[in-house]
Structure 1
Amino acid sequence: MSDTDLLARCTAILPGHRVRPPAEMYAAMAAWCESNGVAHDVYGEGALIQAFERKVADLLGFEAAVFCISGTMAQVTALRLASMARGRAPVALHPTSHIFVHERANYQMLGHFEALPVGERQRAWLAADIAAVPERLAALGLEIPMREIGGQLTAWDELQAIKAHCRRHDIHLHMDGARLWEAAAGYGRHVREIAAGFDSVYVSLYKGIGGLGGAMLLGSRTMVDRAAAWFARQGGKLVHQSPYVVAAAMQFDARLAAMPAYFRRTELLYEALRAHPVLKVNPARPQANMLHVHLPVSRERALAIRRTLALEHGVWPFHRINHGALPDTSYFELYVGDNLLALSEARVHEAVALLAAAVAA
């Protein structure tokens, strides 16, 4: 039986949101378009997309926003513009930055900018990490929260100190806000307060929001207009971008409203995991609605455990599993969304206990 078939028969799926089948998703989009009188945009010009851009810009307190087909394109474009404006000075990135880890050296291979890894891999940035860089920096790219280290947040006081340092030294401060919506509950602050002091912000329209894809880049009107021109140069302007905007806009408000509930359920999950010392959790306490769970078994053994739990108990504990830093260890990411929210507390504890028992065995 394939993993897809196994997942389909599970009744306790811990990670993520339920993925709507295409027919269901497209039917919901069609109904929303009909009830809202939606017409296609043409290369980004149209009532729906421009109204949604204004809505997101106002929400985060920025002058302007522009839709982009991918966060990968949005981020390197923003940082490229910042570097060009400052004599091609380098950009500072955390060692776990998405640009380093997942984008196949695009910043380098496509000549966007020079990048410096700054700070320690296993913890979020401190203001002292930035101040210690001897080079003149054009920009900082700061991820909030930092996915590759379990969803850790830069401490609030450190974040304010980083903002102040960038203002003093004319360093463009860019936020990788792919999961900014999730960070708001962890910080206990409005997204506008978190974004204040950043020169540009990228947000995803599909990760926490559940759209088909796409992103927004926010900043000053001048920067956003320049970025839009660079998106077109890179082939990022589709003739109709409305399908991506509809998929996000129709559920945007509901998803944002659910973020506090996802965070509370993450805290419940954390307590369930802590009851089983064989399961090691990072960070020490939840800082967003995601966690990393470290196992004292190899990746191959973890996959076999998942298969057994799915077949015998209808439990699906994780989607992807990674090799750990030590031999015969592994770890997985748990993003808490609708799937976990739909389970009773008793079922959550039962699923975690089954995982722990299988790992311990």
Structure 2
Amino acid sequence: MPGTRPARHGIIHRMSETATAQDEQPAEPLPAEERMRRRRADAYRQATRVLARTGLRASLRERLAGLREAAPEVYDLDEPSDLYGNGVVEALERRVAALLGTEAAAFFPTGTMAQQVALRCWAARTGSPTVALHALAHPEVHERDALREVAGLRTVRVTGEPRLPTAQEIRDFAEPFGTLMLELPLRDAGFVLPSWEELTELVEAARERDAVVHFDGARLWESTVRFGRSLPEIADLADSVYVSFYKSLDGIGGAALAGPRSLVEEARTWRHRYGGMVFQQFPTALAALIGLERELPRLPDYVRHARVVAAALREGFAGAGVPWARVHPEEPHTHQFQVWLPYDADVLLETAVRQAEETNTYLFTGFWGTKGPGLSMTEVTVAATGLEWTAEDVRAAVADFAGRLPKGARS
């Protein structure tokens, strides 16, 4: 009809003007949290000196390139890809069982799933749904009550002290339980481990109560230095062990449950029921094999050098006149530990990022968490890049960091 085209043209013209006007409007400012996230990411990428550079903070391009470069060292890439847990996944399971000295191991997409399955299997075998654990254990703090809500288990807390339970606490505990779960190391208490003698006595105390023992060994790989024992010797103390492939081995994800063959076969059934029978998992399995090949042999070096770094941090803060600073444990049990400082978390985070932006040295790359009025804590990891730091390097970085803290920010 006459006039139709001009009318449509007018509508389109007005829409175009509106879109142009919208395009010209200034963008909404980013929330402060997102601005800090981007600053941290940029500072980390540009830093020439960090104590640990992990795949978690690498770009997709970097992760894919690393996988492509290293995968031929650990598996024949001309083999067929995996389907529902065969192929490279089975190869990974055999490798883990051999490293831990167990009869078998099963791959799981997550540690949460692996431990739920292990603990419900033990509950059925012992006839007790009660699991004794530490108040700071991962299932109690980070899994939204999954053991109770999903697995139908009941947990009882042996202790809340920032250490592993003692044998006497196990013997004196008032409630019966079928399984004792021990997180080795206990991350939220400062990546702490007992001594070997304390651990063996602790396990014996559980056996006296006819309980089975399960190790939450997400970071068990690096415990050999503290214990002075091999991985098979450590794993042999427990009835079952869970290990992670990304927390210390820098993998993409995934976990394994290791133990007696009959338990592992039962766990495979529950893995399927939980939705863990994933169609293909070759990137995760390959990354785990790479971690076992490359990172696992280096972990003892990381642990030993973490002790050097921790001592230098203490000396640095003392020399800078910080009135109350704590490195916990004073001599780290693993290659990870805590640093506590008497400042608000946002002050410490800003100072750490600003130091990295201005000096390319990123001393504290993690988040600072508020632990009380004017008191904050961060976790420190020492890995391959940390081996390049001398004690003097650490002390100099601490002095520079402390000098950037605003006056009057302490509690």
Q: How would you bin the TM-score normalised by the shorter chain? A: over 0.9
- Counterpart residue type for residue 348 of structure 1: V
Correspondence 1:168 to 2:208: yes
Counterpart mapping for 1:1-361 below 5 A:
2-15=39-52, 17=54, 19-33=57-71, 36-37=76-77, 38-46=79-87, 48-275=88-315, 276-277=317-318, 278=322, 279-316=325-362, 317-324=364-371, 326-359=372-405, 361=407
Q: Partners of 2:85 and 2:122 in 1: how far apart?
A: 23
Deviation track 1:261-309 (CA, whole Å, cap 9, x = no partner) reads 1012101111111212333111132111111000100111111211221
Q: What value does the CA root-mean-square deviation take over the aligned residues?
A: 1.9
The answer to whether the Cα contact below 8 Å between 1:89 and 1:136 also exists between their aligned partners in 2 is: no
Instruction: Give me the TM-score of the superposition, normalised by structure 2.
Output: 0.82
SS at match of 1:81: helix
Evaluate the alpha carbon distance shift between residue 34 and residue 154 of structure 1 in structure 2; reply closer, same or farther with a 3 A threshold.
closer
Comparing 104-113 with 233-242, greater Cα deviation is found at: 104-113
The answer to whether the Cα contact below 8 Å between 1:63 and 1:219 also exists between their aligned partners in 2 is: yes
The answer to whether the Cα contact below 8 Å between 1:195 and 1:201 also exists between their aligned partners in 2 is: yes
The answer to whether the Cα contact below 8 Å between 2:311 and 2:330 also exists between their aligned partners in 1 is: no
The answer to whether the Cα contact below 8 Å between 1:16 and 1:334 also exists between their aligned partners in 2 is: no
- Counterpart residue type for residue 269 of structure 1: V
Q: Partners of 1:86 and 1:78 in 2: how far apart?
A: 12
Match of 2:13?
A: none
- Counterpart residue type for residue 265 of structure 1: H
After TM superposition, give the deviation of residue 345 of structure 1 in Å. 4.4
Deviation track 1:145-192 (CA, whole Å, cap 9, x = no partner) reads 111111110222121012212333321100011111111122222111
Q: Partners of 1:6 and 1:32 in 2: how far apart?
A: 27
Deviation track 1:301-335 (CA, whole Å, cap 9, x = no partner) reads 111211221222223213111111x3111000112
The answer to whether the Cα contact below 8 Å between 1:68 and 1:231 also exists between their aligned partners in 2 is: yes
After TM superposition, give the deviation of residue 357 of structure 1 in Å. 3.3
After TM superposition, give the deviation of residue 16 of structure 1 in Å. 5.1
Q: Partners of 2:280 and 2:157 in 1: how far apart?
A: 37
Deviation track 1:219-258 (CA, whole Å, cap 9, x = no partner) reads 1111111111111111111111222111111231221111
After TM superposition, give the deviation of residue 55 of structure 1 in Å. 1.7
Evaluate the alpha carbon distance shift between residue 96 and residue 15 of structure 1 in structure 2; reply closer, same or farther with a 3 A threshold.
farther
- Counterpart residue type for residue 185 of structure 1: V
Evaluate the alpha carbon distance shift between residue 308 and residue 209 of structure 1 in structure 2; reply closer, same or farther with a 3 A threshold.
same
The answer to whether the Cα contact below 8 Å between 1:12 and 1:347 also exists between their aligned partners in 2 is: no
Match of 2:9?
A: none
The answer to whether the Cα contact below 8 Å between 1:295 and 1:330 also exists between their aligned partners in 2 is: yes
Q: Partners of 2:302 and 2:220 in 1: how far apart?
A: 14
SS at match of 1:85: helix
Q: Partners of 2:147 and 2:326 in 1: how far apart?
A: 34
Comparing 80-89 with 243-252, greater Cα deviation is found at: 80-89
Count of matched residue pairs: 359
- Stretches of structure 1 that go unaligned for 5 or more consecutive residues are none
What percentage of residue pairs aligned between the two structures are identical?
Answer: 34
SS at match of 2:295: helix
Structure of larger gyration radius: 2
Q: Partners of 2:356 and 2:66 in 1: how far apart?
A: 30
Evaluate the alpha carbon distance shift between residue 16 and residue 169 of structure 1 in structure 2; reply closer, same or farther with a 3 A threshold.
farther
The answer to whether the Cα contact below 8 Å between 1:90 and 1:136 also exists between their aligned partners in 2 is: yes
- Stretches of structure 2 that go unaligned for 5 or more consecutive residues are 1-37
Instruction: Give me the TM-score of the superposition, normalised by structure 1.
Output: 0.93
Q: Partners of 2:365 and 2:161 in 1: how far apart?
A: 24
The answer to whether the Cα contact below 8 Å between 2:107 and 2:254 also exists between their aligned partners in 1 is: yes
Deviation track 1:87-116 (CA, whole Å, cap 9, x = no partner) reads 233101101101011111111221431001
- Counterpart residue type for residue 63 of structure 2: M
Evaluate the alpha carbon distance shift between residue 4 and residue 136 of structure 1 in structure 2; reply closer, same or farther with a 3 A threshold.
same
Comparing 11-20 with 141-150, greater Cα deviation is found at: 11-20
